[in-house]
Amino acid sequence: MEPANIIIDPEIMDGLPILQGTRFPVYIIIEMLEEGSSFEDIKQEYPFLSNEQIKSAIHYAAQLVAEPTLTGTVALN
């Protein structure tokens, strides 16, 4: 189950998880955090994002890691 403001719709962005009311994919936030960006860095790059939306993306990613039914593999570089 995704957080309330994360949606997955096959008709939007090919089903990528996005922030509700936007076409902004969750993975971009996670990648920016991985690269060392702060919330402020992300909001400077994408001023329409709120702290709540960034936290929601993190929460969604954490749920994916914790979910025992996660399928597929991801290559880590």
Assigned domain for 50 exists = yes
Q: Which comes out higher in pLDDT, residue 5 or 44?
A: 44
For residue 47, the domain's CATH number is: 1.10.10.10
pLDDT at 54: 96
Q: Cβ neighbours of residue 54 under 8 Å, at least 6 residues apart? A: 29, 39, 42, 43
Angle subtended at Cα 28 by Cα 8 and Cα 72, rounded to the nearest 5 degrees: 55
DSSP string, 28-39: HHHHHHHTT--H
pLDDT at 4: 61
CB 1 within 8 A of CB 62: no
pLDDT tens-digit map of 27-73 = 999 999 999 999 999 999 999 999 999 999 999 999 888 876 655 54
Name the domain count of the chain. 1
Domain that holds residue 10: 6-66
Assigned domain for 56 exists = yes
Please give the Cα distance from 76 to 25 (Å, whole number). 19
Assigned domain for 77 exists = no
Please give the Cα distance from 72 to 30 (Å, whole number). 18
How would residue 14 be classed by pLDDT, with cut points 50, 70 and 90?
very high
| pLDDT above 90 for 1 | no
